[in-house]
Chains A and B, each alone.
Chain A
Amino acid sequence: MCTRTVGTLAHIIEAAGIATVTIGSIREQLYRTSPPRGLFCDFPLGRPLGIPDDPGFQHTVLEHAFGLLGATEATVVDYPEVITDNADEVLVCPLPARHDPQAHPALDEARGLRPAYERAIAKFGNRTGAIRQLDADAIPEAIAAFIRVAEGTFWKEAGIPGIPARAAQDIRGYYEMAAMEIAGHTPAAWAGYRWYRDETATGRVIKAAQQAMKDTGVKEALWRFLLPLDTRPT
């Protein structure tokens, strides 16, 4: 959807007399929107310049993009290199040992990840962690609310702090940041998400809450965006 939006904006900005170059990550959306100059980069969604922490690669992409300014008519082309999602690669990230056996595993896990999360914030800043609707202190409480949903409480009565999708996004951000710190490197695209979804107790809670919301007839818009679209309740 983002590619469609930037393609649209390119037409509007160009109409104001400013030359544009549009990078797009979804081929069909870029070609159909037909911006004045478009470079389709078949890179993972979220990484339009290709590879994080690789200035050389990013400069090469920019050279191709700005090179389109020499075109004499509207043009959309493919960048010659493709970066594919690494299939089903999952980040290898050890989870903290149980600390409080009386606590729900997801709550114990989230609390155990807090030191790694704080180290990640110190290292990277808080660009994508628990920052949109919740702060880190509120993460366990939000997870507890989703546990209640997964166990049958109607979502409105479960105490989800704010809009469910936004709370879920902050929880995922908290986990992925902690994972980057524990793993010690930037994971392949989506590997952090797949680790969160499939390997963590909280990921399983969110999936179960999503399924419960669907099963009880909750409007799709409220549960669809708890996780990316490849995770679909049955």
Chain B
Amino acid sequence: MTDTFIKTLTASQEWPTFENPAFVTPKPLADAKVAIVTSASLHHEDDDDFAPVDTGYRLLHRDRRDIVVGHWSPNFDATGVTADLNVVFPIDRLEEMAREGRIGKVSEIHLAVAGNQFDLSGIRMDGGPAAAKVLSDHEVDVVLLTPV
């Protein structure tokens, strides 16, 4: 019961609180530009690996599948994403949804961050806002976030 054990052990980790959290009314999904942001520490083969403590992001390009899992944590099953990138980063599913008109368009860029953040202040104060700016600059309307 590896999975249950790890989930139970990490369930009580301290969690952040947000005063006056934002809530955006989105445009219809069929008109929206959609991006994925994953905490799976993915990066392209020629991009920098993630450092043990890394609050930055890596760009993932829509048309590239040369993606490496650079996560520092051993606490997830890696065979699923080995067989099928989409089980973590559902880029092909978004492309299918766009072709069917269920989403407006797939963003040219997507983002990955390192999920192993013991201290979330770096993500809250630095990496997160920088990532949000990139998404805004690319006129993304909706973001799907996925962990590992």
Contact of A5 among B2, B66, B68, B120 (CB under 8 A): B120
- CB neighbours (8 Å) of A228 from chain B are 2, 6, 74-75
Q: Decide if B145 touches A127 in the complex (CB within 8 Å).
A: no
Q: Decide if A47 touches B77 in the complex (CB within 8 Å).
A: yes
Known A-B contacts A1-B116, A32-B15; A74 and B21 likewise in contact (beta carbons under 8 Å): yes
- CB neighbours (8 Å) of A24 from chain B are 147
Q: Decide if A176 touches B78 in the complex (CB within 8 Å).
A: yes
Q: Decide if A35 touches B145 in the complex (CB within 8 Å).
A: yes
Distance (whole angstroms) from the CB of A192 to the closest CB of chain B: 5
User: Most chain-B CB neighbours within 10 Å: which of A47, A85, A129, A166?
Assistant: A47
Chain B: how many interface residues by the 8 Å CB criterion?
83
List residues 31-73 of chain A with CB under 8 A from any CB of chain B.
32-36, 44-53, 55, 58-59, 62, 65-66, 69, 73
Q: Decide if A190 touches B69 in the complex (CB within 8 Å).
A: no
- CB neighbours (8 Å) of B52 from chain A are 163
User: Most chain-A CB neighbours within 10 Å: which of B1, B12, B40?
Assistant: B1
Known A-B contacts A47-B87, A230-B5; A14 and B148 likewise in contact (beta carbons under 8 Å): no
- CB neighbours (8 Å) of B18 from chain A are 11, 34
List residues 51-86 of chain B with CB under 8 A from any CB of chain A.
52, 65-70, 72-86
Closest to A194 in B: B2
Q: Decide if B3 touches A85 in the complex (CB within 8 Å).
A: yes
- Hey, what's the 0/1 contact readout for B81-102 against A, CB within 8 Å counting as 1? 1111111101011001100000
10 A-B pairs besides A8-B123, A36-B21, A45-B76 with CB distance below 8 A are A4-B120, A11-B21, A18-B24, A21-B143, A44-B77, A53-B83, A58-B86, A59-B93, A186-B82, A225-B73
